[in-house]
Amino acid sequence: MAIAARSAGDVSSTATAEELAAVGAALADPTRVRMLRLMQANDEVACAALEATFALTKSTISYHVRVLRHAGLIRVRKTGKFYHYALMRDEIERHFPGLLALLAATEPPQLADAASPGLVADCDPETFAP
C-alpha cells in the first residue's frame, strides 16, 4: 500500500485509493504531522532525537514511524542498531502535490539533543507494542 511499493516503471502521478487512505490515516495524528515537519526541517532524524524531542517511548515512536512508512511518506535507514528517518520528498511531491508546502506552513518542533543520557538504544519500527 505504500507509495514506494509502485514499480520503477510506473511514472503515474496519481495515487490509488489505498495510498490516499494510508496517507490520510498517517496525517490524522498531530504527533505524526509534527514528526513529518521535523523531518522536513532536517535531512534525516535519528530515533533517539525523536524520543528526546517528543518525550515518547521507543515503542510509541516505532508505531508512529511504522504508520508513516506504511503510507510511503518516510524512508528508514538502519546503521548498526540505530535507525534514521527521512521524508521521501520526491515521492510525496509526485503523488501528493502541495503536501510538503502544507507541512512547511506548520511550526517545526525544536529538535532536542539526542545525546542525552539514556538515549542509546534505538527504535525498530517493526517492534512496537500495539
* pLDDT tens-digit series, residues 9-58: 444 567 789 989 999 999 999 999 999 999 999 999 999 899 999 988 88
| Strand-by-strand arrangement of the 45-46 sheet | 45-46, 82-87, 74-79
What's the pLDDT score for residue 14?
A: 76
The CATH number of domain 15-101, selected from 1.10.10.10, 3.90.550.10, 1.10.420.10, 1.10.357.10: 1.10.10.10
Burial of 42 (0-12, 13-18, 19+ CB in 10 A): middle
SS3 for 37-91 is: HHHHHCCCEEHHHHHHHHCCCHHHHHHHHHHHHHCCCEEEEEECCEEEEEECHHH
